[in-house]
Structure 1
Amino acid sequence: MSSTRESEHIISARETLDTLYDISQLLNTKLDKETLATCIQMIESGVNPQALAAVIQELRREAAALQSS
């Protein structure tokens, strides 16, 4: 890949992440950009999005339970 094409790809990926982060904020997902990027990478690698969402919700429930005890 040429350096110009690689730069364009990086810029495009950054813009896409920024847009998805804005949507994430509007939906009040409480995901930071790094976590969102990790989730996107996992989904692009074939992880089922519903299963990933269920795991995140369960981890949040467990974290809340640990904080309240």
Structure 2
Amino acid sequence: MTSERNVQIGQARETFQMLYQISQLLCTGLDTETLTICIKLCELGVDPEVLAHIIKEIKKMGTNAAQNKPLNL
């Protein structure tokens, strides 16, 4: 049983590393912690397109705040 569990953990890590590499290739700007949260949200049924839109908006808000620009809502 422990051997099976170790294989599952190894496969999960490998899958995560591939997802992280894809994220980096696509220049998403997501760190490993944020990517982990996104994956968990998708596993819970959150629509990935909606999640991507929200992340883009949050990044925009951060950029606007850093540049002291008011948001156009």
Do they superpose with TM above 0.5?
A: yes
More helix by share: 1
Structure 1: segments with no counterpart, 5+ residues:
none
1:15 corresponding residue in structure 2? 14
Equivalent residues, number: 68
Please report how far the alpha carbon of residue 28 of structure 1 lies from its aligned counterpart in structure 2 after TM superposition. 0.5
1:62 corresponding residue in structure 2? 61
Specify which structure has the bigger relative contact order, considering alpha-carbon pairs within 8 angstroms and separated by 6 or more residues. Answer: 1
Could you list the structure 1 runs, at least 4 aligned residues long, displaced by more than 3 angstroms after superposition.
none
Counterparts in 2 of 1:1-69, with a 5 A limit?
2-69=1-68
Structure 2: segments with no counterpart, 5+ residues:
69-73
RMSD in angstroms over aligned alpha carbons? 0.7
Give percent identity, aligned residues only.
Answer: 41
Larger radius of gyration: 2
Instruction: Give a deviation string over 1:17-36, Cα, whole Å, max 9, x none.
Output: 00011111111111111111
In structure 2, C-alpha distance between the alignment counterparts of 1:35 and 1:3, rounded to whole Å = 29
